[in-house]
Amino acid sequence: MKPVNTLLGQTGTTIFTVMSALATRHGAINLGQGFPDTEGPADIVQAAAAALLDQRNQYPPLTGLPELKAAVAAANARFYGLDIDPVSGVCVTSGATEAITACLMALLNPGDEVVLIEPLYDTYLPVMRMLGAVARLVRLEPPGWALPRAALAAAFGPRTKLLLLNTPMNPTGKVFTREELAFIAGLLAAHDAYAVCDEVYEHLVFRSTRHIPLMTLPGMAARCLRIGSAGKTFSLTGWKVGYVSGPPALVELVGRAHQNLTFTTAPNLQRAVALGLAKPDAYFTTLADTLQARRDLLEAGLQRLGFGTLQAAGGYFITADITPLGMAADDAAFARMITEQAGVAAIPVSAFYAANPPSHYLRFAFCKQPAVLEEALQRLGTWLAARPAA
């Protein structure tokens, strides 16, 4: 038979699926995949359930229900002072991963160059390559994950079409500073390039830090597509409701891509998310404070067990260095070992690199109940104590 698609044939199953399946097989606590282990707000869930019974279950408008688009525009104004047209400046998608794909489809032609920052979410590269674009990778280095300005400037050139920016960043927990964003903005303006901004963790930023959308910087509103996620903001990751905000001329193209991907998104979930985005400020600050407390709990426990830890200023994850434990295994082998033997799953950070990754970091999710985090730490401690000294 004739060969199938080469790129997809060479693309393995995502590391999140692999490690979650391994965790299930061994009865492990899953600190690998980033999903909470509790339901989201009861009023939002109830609104979704009620909306199923209101006899409006047929196709909603292609780019989203008017009430959700208005809520997205209002949230942009409320949190960041952004002026987004609620009719033509918002497109609702079936999750942020589809939003990323639709944005890249809207902007890229074969041969265009895309600047990407490693470590990076594992969807970015395959989607970009399927569109025929060329990656220009720039690497942040631990432990501080500072923006390497000379390397970033060198990655831009005459064929640069866009930068794909993730802030707050998965897996590092880095939140880009205003100074770093200003440097990025200067490069985009100098090279007449766009930015696709993956900001799904925008409300999961801890008190010592502030999330600043690149779109808010001078001259950037016309160049940016900003992606948000109800799954992360409301701890309802299975709903897969995302939204793209930006200039109408670009959002129109995102909608054209969206119509050839999923076409539309469940209307009852859209109505519930519109309710959620109008929640009072206390909801969003409490969400961040709760996650910060869980980050602190897991970080202190990992340090107590002998892991090194890197600062996480936002998101769901903390990066742990296995080097101080003195074991010969690399991160992939270590992640499999603790899943099978200790009953705790994590993600090897090497999975977030295209080539030549560091091999001694694990990503642990702290978006779990405190008792679950404590049990995971207990299991790791018991396993480490039973191992022979190096």
Encoded tokens for 223: 């160049």
Residues 131, 124 contacting (CB under 8 angstroms) = no
State residue 17's pLDDT score.
Answer: 87
Q: Give DSSP secondary structure letters for 53-76.
A: TSS--SPPPTT--HHHHHHHHHHH
Instruction: Assign 9 a pLDDT band (cuts: 50, 70, 90).
Output: confident
Q: How far apart are CA 199 and CA 166, in angstroms?
A: 6
Integer distance in angstroms from the first to the last C-alpha of the chain?
52
State residue 389's pLDDT score.
Answer: 63
> What average pLDDT does the segment 112-129 reach?
96
- 340 backbone dihedrals φ, ψ, rounded to 5°: -75, -35
pLDDT per position as a tens digit, 25-79: 999 999 998 999 999 999 999 999 999 999 999 999 999 999 999 999 999 999 9
- 113 backbone dihedrals φ, ψ, rounded to 5°: -105, 140
Q: Annotate 105-135 with b (16+ C-beta within 10 A) or e (fewer).
A: bbbbeeebbbbbbbbbbbbbbebbeebebeb
Q: Give DSSP secondary structure letters for 98-151.
A: HHHHHHHHHH--TT-EEEEEES--TTHHHHHHHTT-EEEEEE-BTTTTB--HHH
| CA nearest neighbour of 146 among 114, 185, 117, 104 | 117
Residues 273, 44 contacting (CB under 8 angstroms) = yes
Say if residue 237's pLDDT is above 60.
yes
State residue 359's pLDDT score.
Answer: 95
Report the DSSP beta bridge partners of residue 118: 139
State residue 387's pLDDT score.
Answer: 85
> What average pLDDT does the segment 369-375 reach?
98
The one-letter code for the residue type at 78 is R
| CA nearest neighbour of 144 among 172, 117, 121 | 172
> What average pLDDT does the segment 102-108 reach?
98
Encoded tokens for 269: 């979930």
| Cβ count near 346 (within 10 Å) | 30
Burial class (CB in 10 A: 0-12, 13-18, 19+), 151: middle
pTM (two decimals): 0.95
Say if residue 390's pLDDT is above 80.
no
Residue whose token pair is 């270590």: 334
pLDDT per position as a tens digit, 138-188: 999 999 999 999 999 999 999 999 999 999 999 999 999 999 999 999 999
| CA nearest neighbour of 93 among 226, 260, 264 | 264
Encoded tokens for 189: 């303006």
| CA nearest neighbour of 318 among 170, 181, 210, 204 | 170
State residue 366's pLDDT score.
Answer: 98
Burial class (CB in 10 A: 0-12, 13-18, 19+), 48: buried
DSSP H helical ranges for the chain: 6-10, 15-26, 42-51, 66-80, 96-107, 124-130, 149-155, 178-190, 230-233, 248-259, 267-277, 281-305, 331-337, 370-386
Kindly state the DSSP code that residue 389 receives in the 8-state scheme: P
pLDDT per position as a tens digit, 310-356: 999 999 999 999 999 998 899 999 999 999 999 999 999 999 999 99
Q: Which of 254-263, 304-313, 381-390 has the lowest mean pLDDT?
A: 381-390
